[in-house]
Structure 1
Amino acid sequence: MLIHPTVDRLRALGLAAMADTFVELQNNPEAAEMPHADWLGLLVDREITARDNRRLTRRLSSAKLRQAATIENVDYRTARGLDRSLFQNLVTCQWIREANHLVIVGPTGTGKSWLACALGNKACRDGFSVLYKRAPRLFADLAQARGEGRLARLIAALERVNLLILDDWGPEPLTADQRRDLLEIVDDRYDKGSLLITSQVPVSQWHAMTLAAIDRLVHHATILEMNVDSYRRKAAVDKARGAGRPPTRATIKGSS
């Protein structure tokens, strides 16, 4: 049987994984005993798996997640106020399918950004498009786009993302342009896409956001509160005490 022409045709059709599997089976003496239907099934499975992996790689690259976090590495034993049952429900990504929102609030160092990236990673694995942005950077990008006359294109691009992660929402007051941009982003995603916001500021104190944007966001949002001291700070303090020295300011400093 001529192998190379078949392999070349498979590659010409963009079926590289199928071509590689065909060569692998042809060089495996045990594969000669397999029924033709099993050969075909294995070829198709390998091609589908390869394509799924390539799509996942593209989604993760486009997401630009800040941290390489995964839900499998979440440590529920750490005392940081994480509601296990609630988080496991979020891991199903049903809230994204229903175009709902998620707000993670808590003190600095409780792992809000890490959890957001872990959920973003899971969303990519479940086939959703994701984009991670720190809040200050997003507003800077919007301001630059406005000055360059491409604001509408940027907001349209944000609208097409299934899950937009807005990390490190701060207490700083917004300018008039920022309030308008935020309202438009939230309004565009109403019943069409999901927002995940992390913040040190309780939702009740989001006075800098327009009331209309708050109403649209909170109406379809789950609030995940982490009302404990920084677990990284606690770990640093425990480590310092174990070493027989008092913790210094640098030692106990945490980050979100």
Structure 2
Amino acid sequence: MNPVTELAPQLKQLRLSGILDSLDARNRQAIDAKLAYTEFLALLIQDELARREQKKFGTRLRRAAFRATKTLEGFEFDRLPSTNRALVHDLATGRYIDERAPVLIVGPCGTGKSHLAQALGHCAVRQGHDVIFASCAQLLASLNAARAVGTYERKLQQLARVPVLIIDDFGLKPLRAPADEDLHDLIAERYERAATIVTSNLDFTEWDQAFPGNRLLASATVDRLRHNAYCLTLDGASYRAPRQGPNRAKNALASTPKNIDS
């Protein structure tokens, strides 16, 4: 009788059915290389661990809800020569996560703030951390929706506990009640407990302007975000500049009215 036939239900019962994917190949390898039984077993266990880690990685990546596959390898540093590359690569190691420190990224539209934030989030996922990425508007809308169905505290604690929370486009829209209070509560819950990455078009000195109705709340929230934060300023040409067609310059000249001497 083929031993694999007997092994299959037993491996499933032990929740090791993934071993079946590589069992035949590893068995042939063991026979050809005359491996010891312990070496053969070690290979199967390594395969199972690799499969489980890959599955966990896929789950973390889906939960992160990144907009696209934005990695550090794809970030065009040459477009932003003044960017502190050393700091970016240091952040990529995940030290800020262990420190539970904020990372604040500012710059004009189209300079790659969201890309960089997601790239750091992707690094964190690869390092085994849970990450959530959302725009500031989406995040606050989810809290408001939870309030409407009586699950606000549960949602707040869920967001407060995630190791890396990425809040994109902070300050893009003015925060009105209760959104301003919700953001303050979330930042206060995460303060010195978990790492938060924030991107904004506003300069650091303008962040209080995102709270037009409550300057005291603005001060309390921004003060917590700035404390022990790593700050990055991106300054350069927009990635979203329109493409130059081959006839664009010619058409522009043709449409320019000529000066006619009187």
Say yes or no: TM over 0.5: yes
Worse-superposed segment, 47-56 or 33-42? 33-42
- Asked whether the 8 Å contact 1:240–1:246 carries over to 2, the reply is no
Aligned Cα root-mean-square deviation (Å): 2.2
Residue ranges of structure 1 left out of the alignment (5+ in a row): 248-256
Query: Which residue pairs with 1:151 in the alignment?
Result: 152
Query: Cα offset for 1:161?
Result: 0.7
How big is each residue's C-alpha offset from its partner over 1:94-141, in whole Å with a ceiling of 9 and x where there is no partner?
101111111110011101111111111111111111111111111222
Distance in 1, matches of 2:87 and 2:28, equals 50
Residue 51 of structure 2 aligns with which residue?
50
Pairwise CA distance, 1:65:
0.6
Number of the residue aligned with 1:212: 220
User: 1:254 aligns to what?
Assistant: none
Of 173-182 and 88-97, deviating more is 173-182
Q: 2:249 maps to which residue?
A: 244
Aligned residues: 244
| Alpha-carbon offset, residue 29 of structure 1 | 7.0
Q: Does 1:126 align with 2:127?
A: yes
Counterparts of 1:231 and 1:147 in 2: how far apart (Å)? 39
CA distance in 1, matches of 2:249, 2:111: 25
Secondary structure of 1:77's match? Answer: helix
**1: distance between equivalents of 2:38 and 2:51?**
20
> Which residue does 2:23 correspond to in 1?
22
1:64 matched to 2:72? The reply is no
- Contact kept, 8 Å, 2:75 with 2:115, in 1: the verdict is no
Q: Larger Rg: 1 or 2?
A: 2
- Deviations 1:153-177 (CA, angstroms, capped at 9, x unpaired): 1101101211111111124332232
Distance in structure 2 (CA, Å) of the matches to 1:232 and 1:242: 20
1:214 aligned partner, one-letter code: V
Are the structure 2 counterparts of residues 16 and 82 from structure 1 closer, same or farther at C-alpha, using a change threshold of 3 Å?
Answer: farther
Report the CA distance shift for 1:90/1:151 in structure 2 as closer, same or farther (over 3 A).
Answer: same
Partner SS state of residue 3, structure 1: helix
Structure 1, 2-11 or 110-119: larger mean CA deviation: 2-11
- Alignment check: 8 A CA contact 1:71 1:118 kept: yes
When normalised by structure 2's length, the TM-score is: 0.85
Counterpart amino acid of residue 126 in structure 2: R
Larger deviation: 173-182 or 113-122? 173-182
Q: Which amino acid aligns with 1:213?
A: T
Partner of 1:106: 107
Aligned residue among 220, 237, 240 for 1:229: 237
Q: Is the 8 A contact 2:79 2:237 kept in 1?
A: no
Between the aligned partners of 2:97 and 2:196, the Cα distance in structure 1 is 9
Deviates more, 1:95-104 or 1:73-82: 73-82
2:180 match: 179
Q: Give identity over the alignment, percent.
A: 31
CA separation of 1:147 and 1:240: change in aligned 2, threshold 3 A: same
Quick one: distance in 1 between partners of 2:65 and 2:160?
17
- Measure how far apart 1:218 and its partner are: 0.4
Letter in 2 for 1:150: T
Q: What 5-or-longer segments of structure 2 have no aligned partner? A: 212-217, 253-262
Runs of 4+ aligned residues of structure 1 deviating over 3 Å after TM superposition are: 27-32, 239-247
Q: Is the 8 A contact 1:79 1:231 kept in 2?
A: no
